[in-house]
Amino acid sequence: MLNPTTNQSTNRPTQTNPNSDLDFLNQIKTLDEALTNYFAHTLTVDNCLTRKLVSFQANKNRNYYRWYKYKEAFSADLVEYLIKKYPLKTGKILDPFAGAGTTLFACSALGYDAEGIEVLPVGQKIIEANILARSEYKEEIITGLERWLGQKPWNTDGETKKFEILRITNGAYSQETHQKIQRYLYEIENENNALKEILLFVLLCVLESISYTRKDGQYLRWDYRSERKGVRSTFDKGKILSFDDAINQKIKELKNDIPLQDKKQDLFSLLEPEKKAGKVNLLKGSCLEISPNLDSNHYSGIITSPPYCNRYDYTRTYALEHAILGITEPELIELRQAMVSCTVESKAKKILEINPTWKTAIESCNHQELLQAITKYLDYKRNKKELNNNGIYRMVKNYFYEMACIIQECYRVLKKDGLIFMVNDNVRYAGAVISIDTILSKIAEDIGFKIENILILPQGKGNSSQQMGKHGRQVVRKCIYIWKK
Ligand SMILES: C[S@@+](CC[C@H](N)C(=O)[O-])C[C@H]1O[C@@H](n2cnc3c(N)ncnc32)[C@H](O)[C@@H]1O
């Protein structure tokens, strides 16, 4: 077996004590090339993996999946593509980072039972609404939606229900829209639980479109029309929908979609007509807390996409939704901290206190020369005050340690021969490309997985304009890892 810690082309050992940017970057490059060579037999460009397929975009034309635009989702088509390419044994599928539940519903439609863990209330609500829309309550939901379309109770006079306003959501709507949201929230309280949940979900689906904000990865971007104090923006988000238009459209969309089978699955002919959809179960909370309690050797497959190590702050971008769901300022901070470290504000978690057996995962990280070289470099740049945010060092380091623990749990809960599919992006900080794909694959291998494939998207991504300006353009891989127990 090749030693991934020496430069394969020169066989020159890597420098141990770099003391300049160039030394550090050369060391990282050498170790990175060695690890890439080590996994060369598994790294393949898959031309079917378009950016559309590996993002929410391909969901836009599929009923159910198109309702809530979860920007960080992958598509149901992708799940179907992967299962067709690497058939999974019958049984239960897990997604420890369930998001909007794409894995859960796509697998269920193919006859698998599916279980998802999601920490954010917005994702949980999307999944719960989708479970209801496919349940025995669907007839009464359709009737209720028709009634709401006819009566438009939010336009009648009556009482209102106030909702939480967070510091970062203050001023997000025009006064008229704000008033209608409050009236709508009051009226849905009179409905039975199933319809109430669906109507609340409908509201979540339209919040961005009726607000002065746009989700922009790390934060909410404010439109110049907002009356929010201190906003001096020139950003024009385009048409801001009226409450009536947005709610009407969305209710119609649900009402029309619910009676239909999602058409796509027929194309793949994976499910015989008489085969029943699998059960979907949601576990609410952090997978770091929940996964240690899952049964060993239980799941046939895992299809997942963790948050990327890219500073995206879901708690900020989904703040409008969380405010409507009654999440307070301190609760939002707690949620940010419960997520896998992916923002510069994430603090280290006491992972060994959660589960002492994660020593194995931690040891694997401690012995990963490339990972150690990267974190030393980021620490060195932080000490020189040359990172554009000091939290980047901590985020990158903790991201790997936490992901290693999750990978160890994934290994434990999978059945023998079970597969894990993981979608993730490489990143770049301070000029160093961080090969999340090969580093996590090495950790997975140390834990016991066989690395089947690292499928590369033909179209990589450039990374931020700041980085490109400073360090020149370099394509950063986006991949799907396939590991077997
Ligand atoms: C890339 S998104 C997954 C999207 C999903 N594949 C879909 O199609 O909707 C990552 C998800 O992981 C969730 N997440 C982050 N940290 C988590 C944790 N510790 N436990 C459970 N979920 C977490 C985020 O809230 C987010 O919804």
Per-residue pLDDT reduced to its tens digit, 186-205 = 999 999 999 999 999 999 99
* 3-state SS, residue 281: strand
**Residues enclosing ligand 1, CB less than 6 A?**
70, 72-74, 97, 99-100, 102, 117-120, 123, 286-288, 305-307, 314, 338-340
- Residue 287 CA: nearest ligand 1 atom is 20
More confident residue, 333 or 272: 333
Amino acid at 387: L
More confident residue, 355 or 2: 355
Residue-level pLDDT at 141: 96
Tokens of 294: 């899952």
* 3-state SS, residue 48: coil
What are the φ and ψ backbone dihedral angles of 45, each rounded to 5 degrees?
A: -75, 130
What is the share, in percent, of the chain residues with pLDDT greater than 90?
Answer: 86
- Residue 126 CA: nearest ligand 1 atom is 9
Residue-level pLDDT at 228: 84
State the pairing for strand pair 427-429/414-425. unpaired
pLDDT tier at 2, thresholds 50, 70, 90: very low
Instruction: State the residue for tokens 């490489």.
Output: 426
Cβ 211 vs Cβ 226: under 8 Å: no
- Counting ligand 1 atoms within 8 A of each CB, the residue from 54, 71, 105, 119 with the most, and so the one to mutate, is 119
- Across the chain, mean pLDDT equals 91
Question: What is the CA(100)–ligand 1 centre distance, in A?
Answer: 8
Mean pLDDT for 311-331 is 96
Q: DSSP characters for 332-359?
A: HHHHHHHS-S-STTPPPP-HHHH-GGGH
* 3-state SS, residue 463: coil
Q: Which segments of 272-388 are extended strands (E)? A: 280-284, 299-304
Interhelix angle 359-366/436-447, nearest 10 degrees: 130
Alpha-carbon distance 436 to 309, whole Å? 8
- HEC string of 161-224 equals CCCCCCCCCCCCCCHHHHHHHHHHHHHHCCCCHHHHHHHHHHHHHHHHHHCCEEEECCEEEECC
Element (H, E) at 394: helix 391-413
Amino acid at 42: T
- Counting ligand 1 atoms within 8 A of each CB, the residue from 72, 402, 403 with the most, and so the one to mutate, is 72
Tokens of 219: 């934060």
Alpha-carbon distance 194 to 142, whole Å? 11
pLDDT tens digits along 66-112:
999 999 999 999 999 999 999 899 999 999 999 999 999 999 999 99
Question: Candidates 1.20.58.100, 3.40.50.2300, 1.10.1740.10, 3.40.50.150; correct CATH number of 21-119+277-307+340-484?
Answer: 3.40.50.150
Residue-level pLDDT at 223: 93
What's the whole-model pTM score?
0.93
| Residue 155 reports pLDDT greater than 60 | yes
Which residues neighbour 290 within 8 Å (Cβ) at sequence distance 6 or greater?
117, 283
Tokens of 230: 């201190």
Cβ 433 vs Cβ 460: under 8 Å: no
Question: What is the CA(127)–ligand 1 centre distance, in A?
Answer: 12
What are the φ and ψ backbone dihedral angles of 328, each rounded to 5 degrees?
A: -90, 170
Nearest CA, atom 7, ligand 1? 73
Residue-level pLDDT at 482: 98
What is the share, in percent, of the chain residues with pLDDT greater than 70?
Answer: 90
DSSP 8-class letter at 265: H
Alpha-carbon distance 32 to 47, whole Å? 24
